[in-house]
Chains A and B, each alone.
Chain A
Amino acid sequence: MVGLAMTEIVVEVKSLVKQYGRLMAVDDISFDLHDGEVFAFLGPNGAGKTTTVEILECIRSLTGGSAKVFGYDVTKREDVKEIKKRIGVLPQEFSALDKLSVKENIDLIGGMYQKKLDTREVIKLLDLEDKTKERFENLSGGLKQRVGVAAALVNDPQLVFLDEPTTGLDPKARREVWSVIHNLKRLGKTVFLTTHYMEEAQILADRIAIINKGKIATIGSPQDLISRHGGRKTLVVRKGSKELAKTLQDKYGDTVLDHGGDVVVKVDDVKEMWQLLATLTDMKMNKDIEIQTPTIEDVFLKVVGARITEEGELK
């Protein structure tokens, strides 16, 4: 990334280890977060995502290595006070006081800080104005998450942790939360997101760390990861023929005629893809074509060797 070296480092993790008995929940990981970026931890349940995030939030101790937030050490009592003032958190499975209204719940969290934003401002930011007086227990899952994000922003933090913000939400609510996260980025917040949804990480994150069994398997921008691990690009010619498949096979290799009658060609890079398109143009091809580029899911499959189910388990 151009200019990365010039941006401020907000979170700095070096050789972090968290051990429970013989289980290595976090196994020697290192990474940085830069000012203003959306950083995603992508991995299955039990990969060590929440453990890492909670160590950074100063509510979980570490076994080894170091973790600094805004240059403050998470293991030092005096530093922890400074960190807590400057971070906002949407915890996993966020919940609030059922009988209190949206505003009262945000006020409750706000009341913990000396410096805070006006609650109305936060409510407006999260588009919760017409729910201000609604009790928390009566809100839908998506609205509850928005209240959680509002509470996370009430102290005007520079760094916001969102731990599995869309888990358990329906697709519509999920998209609402995504737009909230986009807004956070627009506001210049640094966001640390954890998720097991491939699409979420790919759409939202500037950089992704794929984490599995306490280790970071790979780290980089989505494009970077795809070009490094995504594999080859694919071109499909709908309702092709044996002859076409043979011609393309001779010229580009790795071509098959699948049982739906489509000709599927795999090429290494963009340059080869353009050559292939030129060949097809020369042949005055008029059939439907489709170009498929690899996604983060392909990257994950390649790097971890498995997929993640909707529930967050490896399969």
Chain B
Amino acid sequence: MIRPLVIFLAVTKNWIRSRSGLFFSIMFPVLLLLVFGAIFGGAGAGSASTLFVQNLDKNSDGTTTQLSSAFVEALNSTKTFAIKDVPVDVDAKVWARDRLGPLGGNIRIVTISEGFERDLINGTLKVKVGISYNLLDTTYQYLVLYGNLNETQKMVYQQGLVQLQQYNETLPDAKTSLILAFDAADQSAAVIKSIVINVANAFNYGIIGATNVIEFKEESVVGSSYGAVDYYVPGIIAAFIMTNGIIALTSITSEFKRRGIIKRLSITPLTKFDWIIGNILSQTLLSLMLTAIIIVVGWIAFRVQAIPDALTIILIFLGSVMFSGLGMVLGGLVKDVEAASALGNAIAFPMMFLSGTYFPMEFMPSYLQSVARVLPLTYFSEGLRYALIYKYTEGVLTNMAVVSALAVAFIILGSVVTRWKEK
């Protein structure tokens, strides 16, 4: 067992002394965390998105109806938006553009149609139930994930879901009482849409009279204790453990191969497995260092409380093994240094953005979500998020199982394609 340790020490020292290696493996992710955190409002206050609301639902005396006002108030209570009222008699788009100015950013308008209150009271049940169903579904998942739901409660929820779904199908189409308008280029559209719909859901449900659920839902919409930066901390750790494995290790091993260093070592009693184990140990140490640094920076800059437990460390170890195994596979397949680094980049970058690392996968179209489900990083970053932030052990273990299986597979494949003897 001494030889892998000798390799581990040598490659680790060689890496730590290389400035470009340190920059890309440690400094770059730290910078990225600071930039992302700053942009997406992790630093406490965070600026609210401007949301224009045109309320066309008026009483005969010209005042807004009670329920439509309450809806606007509900939107406001999410603290996500800076709500601006749009007068009834103007073209909302033109009016909003004028208010924002030519460089004022994206326009988001919610139009509350005339008859909003009437429809709600008279029961355009399709809208209500349809939305309610979505709400109940998400609520159910939320409770399963984070709540303390007992088995009976779970059953009741599930039965309720099925019944609502069946009921939903029997109803005639209803008319739309809310219209959301976005700029085509608005990247926040999906997020804002989901918030508005969630508020509408909660609101709807309130009208029906299921008070418990409203309270709960309002709480979750108004803001759990988790912010965007909580999302980025595990995401960036996962993404850079991935790039360190795929890009850095791939180019290091192909460089070692090109310069004959691997050949020189293969002449000694060192075995292929010793070599691979030594490199994986080195990558694991690097991953733990990266995790520690990102967590500390996340805490100092954004007060993100990500406390690694034993499970986190095991997961990080497995993730490092998985991605250094994948790096070994790529490095073994490609001899040319440039080609190896190009291949590493070509795999790492799409994976980084498709795996729900920087933004939730739910924002992506469903076909991309299916792609994400076959990417190793998806499971690693999800597991790490559960482990570091949400402390949801069952979720960690499920993802860990996938990561472990892939780790074993990549290591086996990596040791097959690593050539220890010339042809």
Contacts and interface: CB of A to CB of B under 8 A. Distances in A.
Interface of A: 20, 54, 57-61, 81, 84-85, 87, 89, 91-100, 104, 107-109, 111-114, 135, 151, 155
Interface of B: 2-3, 6-7, 10-11, 13-15, 17-18, 259-261, 263-270, 420-423
A95 B259 contact: yes
* For the complex of A and B, 6 pairs with smallest distance between CB atoms: A111-B6, A112-B268, A99-B17, A95-B259, A60-B422, A97-B14
Contact of B2 (A20, A100, A108, A111): A111
B6 A54 contact: no
Given A94-B260, A95-B260, A108-B10, A61 B270 contact: no
A112 B10 contact: no
A155 B269 CA distance: 11
Contact of A112 (B11, B269, B421, B422): B269
17 contacts: A59-B420, A59-B422, A60-B421, A81-B269, A84-B267, A91-B264, A95-B261, A96-B261, A97-B14, A98-B14, A104-B13, A107-B6, A109-B264, A111-B6, A112-B268, A113-B268, A135-B17
B260 A92 contact: yes
Contacts of A87: 267
Contacts of A95: 259-261, 264
Contacts of B7: 108
Given A60-B421, A99-B13, A99-B17, A93 B260 contact: yes
A213 to B, nearest CB: 20
B421 A111 contact: no
A151 B268 CA distance: 11
A100 B268 contact: no
A11 to B, nearest CB: 15
B264 A94 contact: yes
Contact of B421 (A61, A98, A99, A113): A61
A91 B268 CA distance: 12
A174 B158 CA distance: 83
A206 to B, nearest CB: 24
A89 B260 CA distance: 12
Contact of A113 (B13, B259, B269): B269
Contact of B269 (A59, A84, A104, A135): A84
Nearest to B17: A99
A75 to B, nearest CB: 11
Contacts of A59: 263, 266-267, 420-422
A108 B10 CA distance: 7
Nearest to B263: A91
A221 to B, nearest CB: 29
Contact of A99 (B2, B14, B267): B14
A60 B423 contact: yes
A109 B268 contact: yes
B234 to A, nearest CB: 31
B3 A112 contact: yes
B20 to A, nearest CB: 11
Contacts of B263: 59, 91
B321 to A, nearest CB: 23
A97 B420 CA distance: 18
Residue from A60, A87, A109, A151 having most chain B Cβ neighbours under 10 A: A109
A154 B265 CA distance: 13
Contacts of B268: 84, 109, 112-113, 155
Residue from B2, B17, B267, B269 having most chain A Cβ neighbours under 10 A: B267
Contacts of A93: 259-260
A76 to B, nearest CB: 14
A130 B10 CA distance: 22
Contacts of A89: 264, 267
Given A91-B267, A109-B268, 12 more contacts: A59-B267, A85-B269, A95-B260, A97-B10, A99-B15, A108-B6, A108-B10, A111-B6, A112-B265, A112-B269, A112-B270, A151-B264
B101 to A, nearest CB: 54
Nearest to B6: A111
Given A59-B421, A60-B423, A111-B2, A97 B267 contact: no
B63 to A, nearest CB: 75
A117 to B, nearest CB: 14
Given A57-B267, A94-B264, A100 B10 contact: yes
A89 B6 CA distance: 19
Given A59-B263, A60-B422, A60-B423, A100 B3 contact: no
B277 to A, nearest CB: 14
